[in-house]
């Protein structure tokens, strides 16, 4: 396959020299693990102690990884990326709430974003997290098949209503909706609810997309059985395919509680699983849609190769490539320049509320071997090319 990701002029065309310098500085900091650990600790402490750190965070990590503090802030960013053919997925990244009010406001936010999706070609999907609409512990209790109390049953019905409200609106507007994947011990309840939504709203179009985390060894069989049910019962399946973001947590919990970890034993097994899933989906494109969420170059090249081998058009509406804003621009912008469908998750929300997201990004960039050094080497190459 033609190695398109090396083109740094295309990758960083939207970055001014000073933005390029900021990105270089940021990834240099992130590559230092003790510094990230200390930074996360100090930031958490500073927020709890109401110290004025918001400005500093905004000017550094926040502006690099997020589109703004609200959905309107994101629009200039969306428009800029769209100039280069890269789409955005507005990601309301407020996490970890346990009260009902934030669940209702998150639902309202997704309903608003669905209007943007309808209006703007540059925003092809809306997205939400199951725990944005309901309590983690409630999903967990259902996943563990523990009987709910009367109050919890009523609470769950409110979660179902929130899902139904956004999926129905997406269906009525004929736009697509991604639903993120989370920890395995709450995911069964989410999967069953998403399947219910697919049965209702994916009869003619692939409106509702679930997420398949291929670091779990049981996911390809799950996808195949879901596909069987979909074929039998007449609905279509949209699936975001990712490797998975909670590996350490998953392995630790399995060890602590003495059960077999749901995570593949090696990175190579996860990679094989990812590739096998994409291959299965490409072979069944008549009823499955792929959103390949990865920063792994090999995985992107493999999907591009498969498309070429099977004579599938680069802009086939059932295949999307996805990356996160602030990461792997060399993949996103070069894919778009070569005619593929690409969308970047563009997180937004009040600085304090998106901190867990930002800390995950910093940790991930520290722990994912090669990811930060790859970003750094590309930024270095572009600095050299621009003679900065
Ligand atoms: C657009 C987009 C949407 C996303 N949505 C979600 C989501 O909804 N839910 C979610 O959980 N994550 C999500 N992610 C994050 C994703 O799951 C990965 O954590 C992240 O993208 C890194 O994986 P990679 O394929 O990009 O890169 P790679 O660097 O190739 O892979 C790193 C990943 O491989 C796996 N891995 C690493 N070491 C091992 C090992 N020893 N054994 C087994 N597996 C290993 C882990 O999953 C690790 O994150 C999303 C990512 C993107 C780009």
For the chain, which residues make up each domain, given as ranges? 68-353
User: For all residues of the chain together, what is the average pLDDT?
Assistant: 93
pLDDT at 35: 62
Gap from CA of 170 to ligand 1 centroid (Å): 27
Run of H or E residues at 238: strand 237-242
Work out the average pLDDT over 166-189. 98
Question: Which tops the pLDDT comparison, 50 or 378?
Answer: 378
Adjacent-strand bridge partners of 88: 344
Gap from CA of 157 to ligand 1 centroid (Å): 31
Work out the average pLDDT over 261-267. 97
Coil vs helix vs strand at 181: coil
Question: Which tops the pLDDT comparison, 22 or 88?
Answer: 88
**Quick check: 197 pLDDT over 90?**
yes
Atom 21 (ligand 1): residue with closest C-alpha?
294
Work out the average pLDDT over 365-382. 80
Question: Which tops the pLDDT comparison, 369 or 298?
Answer: 298
pLDDT at 26: 87
Tell which one of 95, 245, 366 to mutate to probe ligand 1, the residue whose CB is within 8 A of the most ligand atoms. Answer: 245
Atom 5 (ligand 1): residue with closest C-alpha?
180
Atom 33 (ligand 1): residue with closest C-alpha?
243
Gap from CA of 271 to ligand 1 centroid (Å): 10
pLDDT at 93: 79
Which pLDDT tens digit goes with each residue over 271-284?
Answer: 999 999 999 999 99
pLDDT at 2: 86
Helix, strand, coil tally for the chain in percent (to 5): 60, 10, 30
pLDDT at 365: 66
Rounded CA-CA distance 109/45 in Å is 29
Q: What is the DSSP string of 130-164?
A: HHHHS-HHHHHHHHTTPPPPHHHHHHHHHHHHHHH
pLDDT at 97: 65
Which pLDDT tens digit goes with each residue over 76-131?
Answer: 999 999 999 999 999 997 765 667 889 999 999 999 999 999 999 999 999 999 99
Gap from CA of 362 to ligand 1 centroid (Å): 14
State the fold for domain 68-353: TIM Barrel (3.20.20)
Query: What does the angle CA 101 – CA 106 – CA 107 come to, to the nearest 5 degrees?
Result: 100
Adjacent-strand bridge partners of 97: none
Percent of the chain beyond pLDDT 90? 80
Work out the average pLDDT over 361-365. 72
pLDDT at 231: 98
Atom 9 (ligand 1): residue with closest C-alpha?
181
Gap from CA of 312 to ligand 1 centroid (Å): 26
- Cα dihedral 322, 325, 330, 333 in deg (nearest 10): 70
Which of left, alpha, beta for 258 (phi over 0: left; psi -120 to 50: alpha)?
left
Instruction: For residue 265, give the ligand 1 atom closest to its CA.
Output: 42
Which pLDDT tens digit goes with each residue over 93-108?
Answer: 776 566 788 999 999 9
Instruction: For residue 369, give the ligand 1 atom closest to its CA.
Output: 29
Instruction: Quote the distance between the C-alpha of residue 336 and its chain's center.
Output: 18
Work out the average pLDDT over 356-380. 78
Atom 40 (ligand 1): residue with closest C-alpha?
267
Residue 264 DSSP symbol: -
pLDDT at 369: 53
Gap from CA of 50 to ligand 1 centroid (Å): 33
Place of tokens 């490797």: 243
- Which residues, at least 6 apart from 147, have a Cβ–Cβ distance to it below 8 Å? none
Which pLDDT tens digit goes with each residue over 312-346?
Answer: 999 999 999 999 999 999 999 999 999 999 999 99
Tell which one of 178, 244, 250, 297 to mutate to probe ligand 1, the residue whose CB is within 8 A of the most ligand atoms. Answer: 244
Question: Which tops the pLDDT comparison, 29 or 298?
Answer: 298
Atom 32 (ligand 1): residue with closest C-alpha?
368
Question: Which tops the pLDDT comparison, 207 or 26?
Answer: 207
Confidence of residue 368 (pLDDT cuts 50, 70, 90): low
Rounded CA-CA distance 328/11 in Å is 8
Atom 30 (ligand 1): residue with closest C-alpha?
296
Question: Which residues, judged by CB distance below 6 Å to any ligand atom, belong to the binding site of ligand 1?
Answer: 180-181, 211, 213, 215, 242-247, 263-264, 266-267, 270, 293-296, 322-324, 345, 368, 371
Gap from CA of 304 to ligand 1 centroid (Å): 19
Of 151, 134, 129, 130, nearest to 99 by C-alpha is: 134
Burial (0-12, 13-18, 19+ Cβ within 10 Å), 131: buried
Percent of the chain beyond pLDDT 70? 93
**pTM score, two decimals?**
0.95
Of 69, 132, 18, nearest to 358 by C-alpha is: 69
Atom 3 (ligand 1): residue with closest C-alpha?
293
Instruction: For residue 274, give the ligand 1 atom closest to its CA.
Output: 25
Rounded CA-CA distance 300/37 in Å is 31
pLDDT at 383: 95
**Quick check: 153 pLDDT over 90?**
yes
């Amino acid at each position: 396959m033609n190695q398109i990701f090396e083109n740094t002029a295309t990758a960083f065309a939207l970055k001014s020299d000073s933005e390029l310098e900021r990105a270089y500085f940021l990834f240099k900091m992130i590559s230092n693990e003790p510094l990230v650990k200390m930074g996360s600790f100090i930031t958490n402490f500073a927020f709890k102690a109401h110290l004025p750190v918001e400005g500093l965070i905004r000017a550094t990590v926040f502006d690099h990884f997020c589109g703004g503090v609200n959905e309107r802030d994101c629009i200039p960013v969306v428009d800029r990326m769209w100039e280069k053919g890269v789409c955005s997925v507005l990601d309301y990244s407020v996490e970890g709430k346990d009260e009902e009010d934030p669940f209702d406001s998150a639902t309202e936010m997704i309903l608003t974003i669905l209007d943007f999706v309808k209006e703007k070609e540059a925003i092809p999907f809306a997205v939400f997290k199951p725990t944005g609409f309901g309590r983690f512990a409630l999903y967990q209790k259902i996943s563990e098949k523990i009987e709910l109390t009367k109050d919890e049953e009523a609470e769950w019905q409110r979660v179902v209503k929130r899902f139904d409200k956004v999926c129905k609106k997406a269906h009525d507007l004929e736009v697509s909706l991604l639903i993120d994947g989370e920890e395995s011990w709450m995911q069964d309840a989410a999967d069953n609810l998403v399947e219910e939504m697919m049965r209702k709203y994916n009869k003619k179009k692939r409106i509702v997309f679930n997420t398949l985390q291929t670091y779990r060894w049981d996911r390809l069989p799950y996808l195949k059985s879901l596909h069987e049910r979909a074929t039998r019962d007449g609905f279509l399946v949209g699936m975001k395919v990712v490797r998975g973001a909670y590996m350490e947590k998953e392995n630790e919990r399995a060890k602590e509680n003495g059960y077999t970890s749901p995570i593949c034993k090696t990175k190579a097994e996860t990679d094989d699983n990812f590739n096998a899933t994409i291959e299965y989906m490409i072979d069944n494109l008549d009823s499955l849609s792929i959103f390949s969420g990865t920063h792994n170059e090999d995985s992107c090249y493999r999907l591009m190769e498969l498309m070429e081998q099977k004579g599938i058009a680069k802009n086939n509406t059932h295949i999307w490539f996805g990356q996160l804003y602030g990461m792997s621009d060399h993949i996103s912008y070069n894919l778009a320049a070569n005619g593929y469908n690409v969308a970047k998750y563009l997180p937004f929300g009040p600085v304090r509320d998106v901190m867990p997201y930002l800390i995950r990004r910093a940790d991930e960039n520290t722990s994912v071997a090669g990811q930060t050094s790859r970003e750094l080497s590309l930024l270095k190459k572009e600095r050299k090319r621009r003679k900065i």
